[in-house]
Amino acid sequence: MEFDRELDARGLNCPLPILRCKKALAELNPGQVLKIVATDPGSVKDFPAFCKQTGNELLSFSEADGEYVYFMRKRA
């Protein structure tokens, strides 16, 4: 999937991945896509909840070898 910016949140625990994501999204234009790579298992619940609360769109989620990859589109 194409993306406009990547956020490396590996090794960070809650709430840091969400806080860094929020900051990265603030720097994007509406409709742009942020790729997030995290290792915190809590992010599996945190990112969908964050999107639901903020109106951003979670485009996809995948997990492999203890890394969680999210693609999120900034709300218009």
Contact 68, 42 (CB under 8 A): no
Q: Rounded distance, CA 49 to CA 28, Å?
A: 20
Q: Is 14 a catalytic residue?
A: yes
Q: Which of 12, 14, 58, 59 is catalytic?
A: 14
| Strand 57-64 to 33-38 pairing | unpaired
Q: Enumerate the active-site residues.
A: 14
